[in-house]
Amino acid sequence: MIGTAAVVALLVWWASTGVILYLDGMPRRTFGRSLLGATLVLAAALYGIANLRGETTVMGAYLSFACGVGVWGWLEMSFLMGYVTGPRRHPRDARGREWRHFLHAIEAILYHELAIIVLATSAVALSWNGRNQVGAWTVLILWGMRTSAKLNLFLGVRNLSEEFLPEHLLYLKSFFRKKPMNFLFPVSVTVSAALATIFVQRAIAPGASDFQATRWALLATLLVLGLIEHWILVLPFSATALWSWGLRSRELKPVHGLNGAAAPRESTG
């Protein structure tokens, strides 16, 4: 039961990330259709979160988890495709002070963060007082882990993972900093590990129902995956290989050189 839930969470996380990267690597003329499809998924996911709040079966836990991932998928896709980012769309001024860099970084992703707040609040409200809040918890965990990752990238880590940024968002690289470590990283991994441990204990607790075991196992696995993503930021390891199939759509996409002329992208495979 618990092992199955962990495998399902892993596969959903890996596959959904790869699909988003693949669609984001397609020509920009396809973005509208992709986001329309994601918006339909978002509507279905919010509907599912609301209607599954009283469903305390194993399948109900899986479906609510999938709905939470669907909500987060729309947020990721709308950001990476450049539809919901922020009012600032150019690199930071290297001469500015640190606090101004932080404010500029917030400006670059402000609309995205506001969208997260709206949808996360909606997910919580739609399942309020329900016995099945897996979808809402999924969105909240993904929000917390992604916010932590963003702060760590700003403060400085070894692996910036800029290869995942599409061409139209490359200006965000100016807000990343390359350092072996920063003061926030130990806090991030410690808190994540502690929460994951608590969730695992609840999943294996004597008397836990099948629904409860599945619920906590799904959420614990999500925290562990976020923890692994954090460690990838500082270890001598690139996450590119994990989603090489998702990045394949960028291989033949034209790249504009300094003179504005388009040239074919060389294959990295």
Instruction: Dump pLDDT digits (tens) for 220-240.
Output: 999 999 999 999 999 887 777
- Between vectors from CA 7 to CA 6 and to CA 13, what angle results, nearest 5°? 90
Mean pLDDT of the chain: 90
Q: Would you tell me how many other CB atoms lie within 10 Å of the CB of residue 23?
A: 20
Give the model's confidence band at 266: pLDDT under 50 very low, under 70 low, under 90 confident, else very high.
Answer: very low
pLDDT, residue 41, reads 97
The answer to whether position 267 is within a domain reads no
The answer to whether position 92 is within a domain reads yes
Read off the pLDDT of each residue in 23-42 and give the average, rounded to a whole number: 95
The answer to whether position 75 is within a domain reads yes
Residue with tokens 């709905």: 67
The answer to whether position 247 is within a domain reads yes
The answer to whether position 263 is within a domain reads no
Amino acid of residue 2: I
How many Cα atoms occupy the beta-carbon half-sphere of 133 within 13 Å? Answer: 16
pLDDT, residue 264, reads 35
Q: Which of 86, 78, 22 is nearest to 248 (CA)?
A: 22
The answer to whether position 47 is within a domain reads yes
The answer to whether position 257 is within a domain reads no
Q: Print the domain residue range for 209.
A: 2-251
Q: Which of 176, 166, 57, 50 is nearest to 105 (CA)?
A: 176
Do 200 and 3 form a contact (C-beta atoms < 8 A)? no
Number of independent structural domains in the chain: 1
The answer to whether position 269 is within a domain reads no
